[in-house]
Chains A and B, each alone.
Chain A
Amino acid sequence: MGYRVLVVDDSEVLRKIVSFNLTREGYAVEEAKDGKEALEKLRQAKPDLVILDIMMPYVDGFEVLKTMRKDPELKDIPVIMLTAKGGEDDPKTALEIGANGFLTKPFSPLKLLEEVRRVIGRGA
């Protein structure tokens, strides 16, 4: 069975691009449009990997990651953060609070797949 990935981003276009590339590689993808929905879906579905945007309304990516790392059921799920070009400190902060990898927008979809494979540890 393919790995299950939860893609969290408030931009629908970006979610679709990520989903499209992951689905084509055989991953099962779920989407969440903000931090709140992400936390709900995380508890329900327990995916194998989360791709998490930092800048989101209401609950941002850092909040989601912090909450995950405190939750015994979610704390071991690997997370790849998506950071914006301008936020120079974002990658550092992301790794400090427990992200397993990060990509800077705009990222190459090929790099995304490489990073996903690296973090999960093998292919789909």
Chain B
Amino acid sequence: MEHELKQVYEKISKTMNLPPYQGMSSLKDISFAIDNIVAELNERRKNYAKLLEEHIEELSRTYQEIATLFELNNVFANVVDPEEGLESLVELLKQTIPFLAICIELNVADRYVYYEKLFKLDHETFAKAKQLIDTKSDSVFLIEPTHNSEVRNLLSIPVKSGKSLWGRITLVEREPDIFTAVDRKILEAAAQQLSSICERYVRLKREVEREKLREQLEIARQIQMRLYPRKLPNLSYVEISADTVPAIQVSGDYYDILVRENRVFATVADVSGKGIPAALMMTALRSALRTLSRNVETISQLAVQLNNVLCEDLEEDRFVTMILLCLTRDGELHIVNAGHNPVLLVSGDDITTVEAQDLPLGILRDTNYREVVTKIGTGDLIVAYTDGVTEARDSSGNEYGLERFCAKIKELRNHSVVQIVEQLKNEIENFSKGTQRHDDTTITVIKYLGDNSV
């Protein structure tokens, strides 16, 4: 019996890696040895239980971390302003990383966002911690307790996307322990989310500004449209129609019709360039022309004076090409062509052109402008236009050209001037369908009805 017990003990101690019990001689000894084994087993069980608990604790922490990473997405899901959501972000980070203070600094477009929260840190240490960070840098800062810094430890991650550095997010002092690799991963994920918000904010901001500009441009367009003559003079010896279409909302083209002492003054002009700069010059040109036209006898005088005003006002690389027309009741027509497209005189099936004779306005002071004088007959048409007409292009890049324009005018010449302008406009519109209009387009058509006063 004793021998068998000894054998049992040997077997157990061998499997448990215990030292063989020496000098066992009695049952008492064996019973004592077995007590030892039971004590050892209990100790081991306790250790295993502790180990298991530690594992579950670790697992639970990991689960918390994963949950945090998932939640980070939700915090900013519908956020537009970078400041929104910071409070929830901090709360979320705090659930996972036991830091004592946090500071988030962002520079987004015109916004400076600063957020700080101290949980268990004094202001003095926090201020010191902030001094340790270079806000201009785009690298990660990590201070460990072994660095013997005034701040026990610190983890600071830049908020950036591509080349844009938006700011940084800094955790000050972790309690207990040191910042872990997982802490860093989570903070990086938070920074990533923040940078997406910053990008989104900048894009939105730009969009809003573009929209504002579009609105202002639309207002400018409406103002400019009112500067063109709204009601053309109703005279017994002429029929007049004119229209303009801007390339980009506002135009550098100008046309006007004035009646002075039974004479019709008409003008078509084109300020070099397009858009707002050209439109601003067009308004200045209109004021100058309307003022000067009261005190001049001839259109060549008007051209000289306008040129001198424009030479003073225009920037060096800007100029104005212009047609000035003056038609009397008896069909005498005076034309000044200052560097502009030819004026077309349509008489029956014949079209003659009056080409540019002098420099555009605004180039050389005291330039002399010559008048062409001619007599036109009843039913004749005078057509003045800007280069947006003949230089219109189709989708293959072909130019509309003067030839096509003249052919169309001939075809339409017996229509009313309103119809002629309308149909010429449609023709060009159709020709350049599917392309972007590249210049302002203006057409003025005058039909002489003959001196019917007598």
**B70 sits at the interface (CB 8 A):** yes
The listed residue (A20, A108, A111) touching B53 by CB distance below 8 A is A20
**A85 sits at the interface (CB 8 A):** yes
The complex places the Cα of A13 from the Cα of B56 at a distance, in Å, of 8
Taking A106-B70, A108-B68 as contacts, is the C-beta distance between A17 and B63 under 8 angstroms?
yes
The complex places the Cα of A110 from the Cα of B64 at a distance, in Å, of 8
Taking A106-B63, A108-B95 as contacts, is the C-beta distance between A20 and B56 under 8 angstroms?
yes
- A14-49 at interface with B (beta carbon < 8 Å): 16-17, 20-21
- Chain A residues in 8 Å Cβ range of B204: none
CB-based contact A85/B60 at 8 Å:
no
**B71 sits at the interface (CB 8 A):** yes
Q: How far is the CB of B358 from chain A (nearest CB, A)?
A: 76
- Chain A residues in 8 Å Cβ range of B67: 106-109, 111
Majority-rule SS of A interface residues:
helix
The complex places the Cα of A85 from the Cα of B68 at a distance, in Å, of 13
Q: How far is the CB of B341 from chain A (nearest CB, A)?
A: 65
Total A-B residue pairs with C-beta atoms closer than 8 Å?
32
- Chain B residues in 8 Å Cβ range of A109: 60, 63-64, 67
- Chain A residues in 8 Å Cβ range of B56: 16-17, 20
**B18 sits at the interface (CB 8 A):** no
The listed residue (B57, B70, B95, B96) touching A20 by CB distance below 8 A is B57
CB-based contact B66/A106 at 8 Å:
yes
Q: How far is the CB of A85 from chain B (nearest CB, A)?
A: 7
The complex places the Cα of A106 from the Cα of B66 at a distance, in Å, of 7
CB-based contact B71/A13 at 8 Å:
no
**B213 sits at the interface (CB 8 A):** no
Size of the A side of the interface (Cβ < 8 Å), in residues, is: 12
Which of B56, B57, B95 counts the most chain A CB atoms within 10 A? B56
**B372 sits at the interface (CB 8 A):** no
Contact with B along A75-119 (1 / 0, CB 8 A): 000000000010000000000000000000011111100000000
**B59 sits at the interface (CB 8 A):** yes
Taking A108-B95, A110-B95 as contacts, is the C-beta distance between A21 and B60 under 8 angstroms?
yes
The complex places the Cα of A107 from the Cα of B95 at a distance, in Å, of 12
The complex places the Cα of A110 from the Cα of B59 at a distance, in Å, of 14
The complex places the Cα of A107 from the Cα of B92 at a distance, in Å, of 12
The complex places the Cα of A106 from the Cα of B96 at a distance, in Å, of 14
The complex places the Cα of A21 from the Cα of B60 at a distance, in Å, of 8
The 9 closest A-B CB pairs, nearest first, are A108-B67, A106-B67, A20-B56, A106-B66, A17-B60, A16-B56, A110-B95, A17-B63, A109-B64
Other A-B pairs beyond A16-B59, A85-B70, A106-B66, 20, CB < 8 Å: A16-B56, A17-B59, A17-B60, A17-B63, A20-B53, A20-B60, A106-B63, A106-B70, A107-B67, A108-B64, A108-B67, A108-B68, A108-B96, A109-B60, A109-B63, A109-B64, A109-B67, A110-B95, A111-B67, A111-B95
Interface residues of A (CB under 8 A from B): 13, 16-17, 20-21, 85, 106-111
Give 25 A-B contacts (CB < 8 Å), ordered by A residue.
Answer: A13-B59, A17-B56, A17-B60, A20-B53, A20-B56, A20-B60, A21-B60, A85-B70, A106-B63, A106-B66, A106-B67, A106-B70, A107-B67, A108-B64, A108-B67, A108-B68, A108-B71, A108-B95, A108-B96, A109-B60, A109-B63, A109-B64, A109-B67, A111-B67, A111-B95
